Amino acid sequence: MYRNILVPTDGSAPARKAIRRGVQLAREQKARIIGFYAGPQWQLPVYGEFVPPEVYSPKAHAAAVKKTATRYLGEVKKAASAAGVRCKCSYTMGDYPYAEILKAARRNRCDLIVIASHGRRGIARLLLGSETSKVLAHSTIPVLVVR
């Protein structure tokens, strides 16, 4: 039924749980895992009139995001290969992670998104994470919310 399962991660513990679930489901459904990480966009660090002397360059930022993506997506790759599931990973930079997640789902023709109920920013267990609720609000494909 499911062919391509998108698993977005932010490297948090709840996201790792979603990875486990997604990989398990992919194995049973003979589906492919699409690991995805959306890093923040580079920003000019200006605080009012003050410009810090050491500006973090866009290049350095891109390198840092790449490093983070490699680490987070490595977890997805490892889990998938351990389960014998085909896996493809990608990352982008964007101000709105939910929009990047939905774009990645469209690009890879995913038919399911497996996402944690909250990631790094979720404080209360009773509240749904902000990106997760935005993905749920805008997605046109089914979303599996893992707690």
Partner 1 sequence: MFRNILVPTDGSALSRKAIRGAVQLAREQKARVTALYVAAPYNPRISDETSVVHFVSPQAYAETARITARWYLQAIEKAASAAGVPCDSVHAFNDLPFEEIIRTARRRKCDLIYMASHGRRGISRLLLGSETSKVLAHSKVPVIVCR
Assign 74 to helix, strand or coil: helix
Q: Minimum distance between the CB of residue 38 and partner 1, rounded to whole angstroms?
A: 20
Q: Which stretch binds partner 1 (CB under 8 A): 32-40, 62-70, 85-93, 127-135?
A: 127-135
147 binds partner 1 (CB under 8 A): yes
Ranges assigned E (strand) in 94-132: 112-116
Which one among 29, 68, 108, 130 touches partner 1, defined by CB under 8 A? Answer: 29
The least CB distance from residue 35 to partner 1, in Å, is 19
Binding site for partner 1 (CB under 8 A): 1, 21, 24-25, 28-29, 112, 117, 126-128, 133, 136-147
